């Protein structure tokens, strides 16, 4: 009898495939480098050192040199001290033009006067101290003239032997002007201070007013 041969049909055996091994992917991680924040260094506030206030040195106050006024009636407020020679139109004390006080000395012919030929003058003698350091003549003068001819105003300083002309000219300034003249070279001498005006009698008239005429003798 035929022998039955069983043929074994192989059974599919499931092969266990090992699971895929996951290889981790390196993800580049950004590593931030921390830049240190600069903490500002606080610079200490400089406290100003107060320097002591310098004590000012005392200012030397100039002591005025001792001066003596030598003329009598230098402001013409009285009727003394000055010699006023009698002429066709003599000098006289007046209140018409005054620098200080109530009176001055008019020399020459004022606007309201009658024109005439005349010298008009006033003078005073004074002895200048021999030991003075400095001697000065000062005068406030008001000069006016409507003339264009030979009239003139003048101020002279004379000794027994010589005359110094401070000025001799004609001016119509019609305002007060200060005139000064150095008398130091004449110290120890007797001098005459002479103020005057000459009118020739023709054309216009010329006048001069004098006030605060002083001779100052100073020790320094």
- For 152-164, letters b (16+ CB in 10 Å) and e give bbbbbbbeeeeee
pLDDT at 203: 87
pLDDT at 220: 87
Q: Which 3 state secondary structure label does DSSP give 197?
A: strand
Taking the C-alpha atoms of residue 177 and residue 139, their distance in angstroms, rounded to an integer, is 8
Q: Cβ-count burial of 167 within 10 angstroms (0-12 exposed, 13-18 middle, 19+ buried)?
A: middle
Q: Consecutive sets of 10 residues in the chain, 220 residues long: mean pLDDT of each?
A: 40 42 41 44 46 46 70 98 98 98 98 93 99 98 91 98 98 98 98 98 95 97
Compute the half-sphere exposure of residue 162: CA atoms within 13 Å on the CB side of its CA: 6
pTM of the shown model = 0.70
Q: Cβ-count burial of 111 within 10 angstroms (0-12 exposed, 13-18 middle, 19+ buried)?
A: exposed
* pLDDT (tens digit per residue) in 147-172: 778 999 999 999 999 999 999 999 99
pLDDT at 64: 46
CATH annotation of 67-218: 2.60.120.260
Place of tokens 């103020």: 195
Asked if residue 191 lies in contact with residue 159, where contact means CB atoms within 8 angstroms, the answer is: yes
pLDDT at 149: 82
Q: Which residues contact residue 215 at a Cβ distance below 8 angstroms, ignoring those fewer than 6 apart?
A: 69, 70, 71, 126, 128, 135, 136, 137, 138, 183, 193
pLDDT at 65: 56
- For 13-35, letters b (16+ CB in 10 Å) and e give eeeeeeeeeeeeeeeeeeeeeee
Sorted by where each begins, the domain ranges of the chain are: 67-218
Asked if residue 92 lies in contact with residue 197, where contact means CB atoms within 8 angstroms, the answer is: no
């Amino acid at each position: 009898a035929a022998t039955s041969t069983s043929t074994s049909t192989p059974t599919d055996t499931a092969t266990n495939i090992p699971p895929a091994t996951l290889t981790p992917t390196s993800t580049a991680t950004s590593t931030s480098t921390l830049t240190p924040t600069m903490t500002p260094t606080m610079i200490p506030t400089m406290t100003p050192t107060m320097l002591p206030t310098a004590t000012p040195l005392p200012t030397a106050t100039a002591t005025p040199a001792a001066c003596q006024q030598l003329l009598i009636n230098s402001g013409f407020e009285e009727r003394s001290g000055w010699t006023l020679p009698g002429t066709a139109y003599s000098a006289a004390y007046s209140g018409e033009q005054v620098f200080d006080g109530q009176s001055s000395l008019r020399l020459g012919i004022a606007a309201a006067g009658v024109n005439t030929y005349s010298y008009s003058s006033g003078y005073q003698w004074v002895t200048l101290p021999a030991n003075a350091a400095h001697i000065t003549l000062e005068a406030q003068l008001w000069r006016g003239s409507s003339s264009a001819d030979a009239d003139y105003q003048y101020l002279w300083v004379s000794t027994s032997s010589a005359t110094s002309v401070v000025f001799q000219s004609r001016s119509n300034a019609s305002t007060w002007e200060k005139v000064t003249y150095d008398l130091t070279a004449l110290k120890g001498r007797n001098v005459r201070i002479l103020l005057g005006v000459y009118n020739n009698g023709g054309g216009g008239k010329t006048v001069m007013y004098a006030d605060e005429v002083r001779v100052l003798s100073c020790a320094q």
